[in-house]
């Protein structure tokens, strides 16, 4: 299987990582699995659906996705903004939750290497300092996986608490 950099590259432009999310453009059906309680020793998962529409912005130095997330308690809208910095070769990722659209989450930063994307940030969850990790894997033309994990101990251990499996919409 080619690395993500090779698989996602459109053939246009430099091979510096700016095309690593090109695989994601278009419309997706999303299967979500989310822990019911995070960093609480919980092993119960909610499973629900959603959709995601992704498009290019900033002449290819970024992209945005528009999400419908069908939580068991009711659907909500959200968006992700991603930008690429050619100077560092890193992506920055911001999450905007439609239930609180006046704030934007702390940016995740990282890159794709060896067929996977790893993005990290320091944040606070329920008053505790944590690290957050996003992992992108299993990218093909028709599918992809995103996982979110929290670490309360500086990255020694990780609790995966949200998994999104993307299937290209017909």
Q: Look up the domain containing 81 and give its range.
A: 4-168
pLDDT digits (tens, 9 = 90+) for 50-85: 999 999 999 999 999 999 999 999 999 999 999 999
pLDDT value at residue 147: 98
CATH number at residue 80: 2.40.128.20
Query: Which CA distances in Å does 97 have to 16, 40, 80, 112, 150?
Result: 30, 23, 9, 25, 18
- In the chain, what percentage of residues exceed pLDDT 90? 89
pLDDT value at residue 15: 81
Please measure the distance between the N-terminal and C-terminal CA atoms of the chain and give it in whole angstroms. Answer: 24
pLDDT value at residue 3: 34
pLDDT value at residue 112: 97
Specify the number of domains making up the chain: 1
Residues of the chain predicted below pLDDT 50: 1-10
pLDDT value at residue 170: 83
pTM: 0.90
């Amino acid at each position: 299987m080619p690395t993500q950099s090779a698989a996602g590259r459109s053939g246009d432009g430099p091979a510096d990582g700016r095309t690593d999310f090109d695989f994601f453009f278009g419309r997706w059906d999303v299967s979500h699995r989310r822990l019911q309680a995070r960093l609480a020793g919980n092993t119960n998962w909610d499973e629900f659906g959603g959709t995601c529409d992704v498009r290019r912005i900033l002449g290819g130095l970024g992209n945005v996705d528009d999400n419908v997330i069908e939580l068991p308690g009711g659907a909500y809208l959200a968006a992700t903004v991603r930008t690429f910095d050619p100077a560092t070769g890193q992506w920055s990722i911001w999450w905007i939750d439609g239930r609180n659209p006046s704030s934007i989450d702390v940016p995740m930063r990282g890159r794709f290497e060896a067929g996977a994307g790893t993005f990290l940030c320091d944040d606070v969850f329920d008053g505790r300092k944590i690290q957050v990790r996003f992992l992108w894997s299993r990218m093909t033309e028709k599918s992809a996986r995103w996982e979110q994990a929290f670490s309360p101990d500086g990255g020694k251990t990780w609790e995966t608490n949200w998994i999104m499996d993307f299937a290209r919409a017909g």
